[in-house]
Amino acid sequence: MTNIQQVRIDIPARDGELLTGTHYVPASPSGTWLILSCAMAVPQRFYRHFAAHLAGRGHNVVTYDYRGIGASRRGPVRGMATTTSDWALLDMAGVVDWVHRAQRASRILLIGHSLGGQMAGLLDNAHHVDGMVTFSSQSGHWRLQGKGQKLAVLGHSYLTLPLLAHAFGYMPWSKLGSTEDIPKGAALQWARWCRHPDYLLGDTTLPLERYREFRAPVLAYSFDDDAWGTARSVDAMMRAYPSLERRHVVPQKVGLDRIGHFGFFRPEAARIWDEVASWCDARAAEPRPAAGRSQSMEYAHGAAISPGQHAVTDLTASA
């Protein structure tokens, strides 16, 4: 890990807006590039330990901040004309373009935490993607949240997000935790998604047909103690991806006291990072398929099931 160089980079979004990112350069780089997309209002620096670990396996890793967030914030967030879907259609798409064209990557894999995995299906350049791993990428609809979070998410969706975004001209999310403030348009769009039973999949203004065209294999994790990203809510969101494999992790079965919504990326969880790294290694080594697989959800160690059904697999220490 000591040989991992971190280089600050500027990446052009689709509209020319410059995003600030970090390139984790391995000592002996392969042609594979991993792009890590953040959760809502979480800065890229939060993922630095996990990114360095993946780079230690020989992969180039890029983290970046969405426009208006973290190091990509240019000026006051108040009055910033940014929506949540901009982060996918302009920012995430621009990073994939940059890795594909400027870096001439032989393989591109996506890593998505929460929102970062939810939105990847909106990409129009997903044909360049060879695989994706997501963590707690759930439907944000309040009814699907776990014990103690239903009312909290209901309150944020109908009250906190819209009222404070209108009152301040942005959502002062940093006052409620360790995350970043959110531009007004992004906060209002996110709140609308959370009020809809189908979350962002119910937003007909989005190019939702692109989810069906996302043919790369997807490995989607949920965690047993994550009240935001319950197994049920992750199923509801990830059913949109045609080629899906699921992992449901019980923390105690992998020697951890807790993981929750954010804990996977903390150094304490490093003991379970290698499974993800090995999955990425395998995807990087296999030939690109000529066509996608069937429109069913494939669960690890289980039969394929149709969207809407619910099944999970516990990840044990030996998995």
Q: Which helix (H) or strand (E) holds 187?
A: helix 184-195
150 or 316, which is more confident: 150
- In Å, what is the CA distance from 242 to each residue of 134, 237, 317? 14, 12, 28
Q: What percent of the chain has pLDDT over 90?
A: 85
What backbone torsions phi and psi does residue 133 show, to the nearest 5 degrees?
-115, 130
Nearest-angstrom CA–CA distance, 101 and 195: 38
What pLDDT score does 176 carry?
81
The most distant pair of C-alpha atoms in the chain lies apart, rounded to whole Å, by 52
What pLDDT score does 101 carry?
94
What pLDDT score does 64 carry?
98
310 or 28, which is more confident: 28
What integer is the mean pLDDT of 280-294? 72
Q: Which helix (H) or strand (E) holds 86?
A: helix 84-86
What pLDDT score does 302 carry?
29
Cβ-in-10-Å burial (0-12, 13-18, 19+) of 75 comes to: exposed
> Would the pLDDT of 11 be above 50?
yes
What pLDDT score does 286 carry?
85
What pLDDT score does 296 carry?
36
Q: CB of 13 within 8 A of CB of 90?
A: yes
> Would the pLDDT of 277 be above 60?
yes
- Domains and their CATH numbers in the chain: 5-141+206-315 (3.40.50.1820)
178-226: pLDDT as tens digits: 799 999 999 999 999 999 999 999 999 999 999 999 999 999 999 999 9
What pLDDT score does 21 carry?
98
Q: Which of 82, 94, 131 is nearest to 111 (CA)?
A: 131
What pLDDT score does 148 carry?
85
What pLDDT score does 274 carry?
96
Strands 218-223 and 182-183: unpaired
pLDDT band at 290 (very low <50, low <70, confident <90, very high): low
The predicted model scores a pTM of 0.90
Block residue for tokens 């695989």: 131
Identity at 91, one-letter amino acid code: D
> Would the pLDDT of 12 be above 70?
yes
Half-sphere exposure of 259 (CA within 13 A, CB side): 26
Q: CB of 121 within 8 A of CB of 241?
A: yes
Nearest-angstrom CA–CA distance, 8 and 56: 18
pLDDT band at 308 (very low <50, low <70, confident <90, very high): very low
Q: Which of 151, 145, 147 is nearest to 228 (CA)?
A: 145
Block residue for tokens 């302009």: 90
What pLDDT score does 315 carry?
46
60-118: pLDDT as tens digits: 999 999 999 999 999 999 999 999 999 999 999 999 999 999 999 999 999 999 999 99
What backbone torsions phi and psi does residue 70 show, to the nearest 5 degrees?
55, -130
What pLDDT score does 318 carry?
33
